[in-house]
Amino acid sequence: MTVVETRYAVPGWGVGEIWRANGRLVEHDFRFGRTGPNDGSDPLVERFRAFLGGREVDFSDVELDLDWATPLQRSIAETLRAVPRGEIVSYGELAALAGRPGAPRAAGAFCSVNRFAFVVPCHRVVAANGIGGYGDAGIEVKRRLLALEGVVL
């Protein structure tokens, strides 16, 4: 299975998310921990549901369409996928681990356009002086995602 993108929109204060995985829409309501609609036939969608339910899920076997990415962006994506659940790295650390020490802005720029939420877990990347941003979803969604993994910031 190859994922072209997973995108989400958060209506209001992180209440719900709408995902597109393998062409199927998936909705998750953080208030009640419910996910739907899905007929259960898409294993990737089920893995997203499990992740959002707080269970440990491995996405390392999910192939990504990175044809658009530069070599540095590919390296950042691969490096970030290796950051274990429950751990965080700074943008500077991510850049250094990807082979480009001194390029934290490049790491941040990649995270800001990350098409593969959860599969490339940008929520695990923080600023040197705090939690950092999380795009349109906002910091509170980032905090909730980290909390699912036992990280409290």
Distance (Å, whole) CA 34 – CA 99: 40
Q: Position 67: which residue type?
A: D
- Spatial CB neighbours of 59, under 8 Å, sequence gap ≥ 6: 47, 81, 118, 119
Q: Do strands 89-90 and 34-36 pair parallel, antiparallel, or not at all (unpaired)?
A: unpaired
Distance (Å, whole) CA 120 – CA 112: 12
Burial bucket for residue 87 (CB in 10 Å: 0-12, 13-18, 19+): exposed
CA distances from residue 14 to 53, 133, 144, 147 in whole angstroms, order as listed: 15, 14, 9, 14
122 is catalytic: yes
Strand partners, 55: none
Catalytic residue from among 77, 94, 117, 122: 122
List residues with catalytic annotation: 122
